[in-house]
Structure 1
Amino acid sequence: MVDVTDKAVTERSARAESAVHMSAEAFALLSEGNNKKGDALAVARIAGIQAAKKTADLIPLCHPLALTKVEIEFELQPEAHCVRVRSYCRLAGRTGVEMESLTAAAVAALTIYDMCKAVDPAMEIGPTRLLEKNGGKRGHWRPGGERHD
C-alpha cells in the first residue's frame, strides 16, 4: 500500500458510471418493477452502497476509507433498453475515492444483471468509467485528463 501518512486531509469525491444494456422484455419488467426477483433497482442501490464500503476488501492495496456519503442513482433509457448507474462517493481523507465510486457503479450494474438474467442472459454491462474526481493534488479532474480548479 502507498503510505499516505504525510498527505493532507482534504475533502475528496468521485463520480463513476456503468450501464446495463438489455432486451426490451427485460427492460420493461425492470422499469415496471415486475421483475420476478423483486425490485432490482432498490436491491442494486443497496448492493452499490455496500460495495463502496467494502472496496478495500475487494481490491488489493486499496486503503480502507471512512466514507461520509455514497449515493447510487439510475437513469432509465427506454429507447436504448439501458439502465445507466451513477455513483457518488465523498469523504474527508488522505486518499481519493475513485475506486469506491467505480466499485459501487460496477456492483450495482452486476446486481441488475443478476436480478434480470433469467429473462435476458445476453445483457451487456459497460462501459464502467470514472466521470470526475475532486480533491487531492490534482484538484478537479474530468475525463481527458483536464484539470478544473
Structure 2
Amino acid sequence: MNKLTHLDDKGEARMVDVTDKAVTAREARAEAILRMAPETLRMILDGEHPKGDVLAVARIAGIMAAKKTHELIPLCHSLNLTSVKVDLEAGEDGTSVVVRTRCKLSGQTGVEMEALTAASVAALTLYDMCKAVDRGMVIEAVRLLEKTGGRSGHWQADPA
C-alpha cells in the first residue's frame, strides 16, 4: 500500500507540495445515486414539483460545489477548473436520479475531489428540494468512476 500523501514524516497533516509536478491535462468523473419513491421521480420528470425545476437547481449546485471544493475539504488545492459538467437522469429502476459529473483542467494535481464533491452536493440539493414530498430518500453509491492524467495515469472503476 502506498504511503498517505497528506501526512508528513511525523504523521502530521500537510498540504501536498505540487510545485515540481508537471502540468498535464486531468479529468475525473464521479456519480451519486438518489433513491426515492416512484411518485417523487414522476413529479420531478413531469415538471410538477412545487419548487420548480429541481434538476436545474441541483446542476448549478454541483457546478458551484466543484469550484469550492478547496473551501470544503481540508488540504485540497484551489484549482483553476476549465470545465465542470453535471448530468442528472432518471435511473432505469424508476426510483432514482443518477448524478454524473465530470471535471477537467490542465494543472499539477487531480480533480477527483471536485468531481466527487459536485456529485455529492447535487444529490444533497435534490434531497433538500424534494424532502417536503419524500423524506425517505437515500443518497448512495457516491464514487469515482474514472480519472485521467498526472503521474498515476488512467484509472477506471469496476462496473457497478
TM-score clears 0.5: yes
Who is 1:6 aligned against?
20
The CA distance in 2 between the partners of 1:74 and 1:3, in whole Å, is: 35
> What letter matches 2:149 in structure 1?
G
Residue-by-residue CA offset, 1:3-35 (whole Å, 9 max, x unaligned): 000000000000000010000111111111111
> What letter matches 1:89 in structure 2?
C
| 1:125 aligns with one of 130, 139, 150 | 139
4+ aligned runs moved over 6 Å, structure 1: none
The CA distance in 2 between the partners of 1:137 and 1:111, in whole Å, is: 34
Who is 1:100 aligned against?
114
| 2:83 aligns with one of 58, 69, 80 | 69
Residue-by-residue CA offset, 1:68-112 (whole Å, 9 max, x unaligned): 000001121253311000000000000000000000000000011
Gaps of 5+ in 2: 1-14
The CA distance in 2 between the partners of 1:24 and 1:57, in whole Å, is: 35
- Of all paired residues, the percent bearing the same amino acid is 60
Aligned pairs (5 A) from 1:1-149: 1-77=15-91, 79-143=93-157
SS at match of 1:12: strand
Aligned length: 144
SS at match of 1:126: strand
Give me the TM-score of the superposition, normalised by structure 2: 0.88
Q: Return the structure number with greater helix share.
A: 1
Gaps of 5+ in 1: 145-149
The CA distance in 1 between the partners of 2:77 and 2:106, in whole Å, is: 14
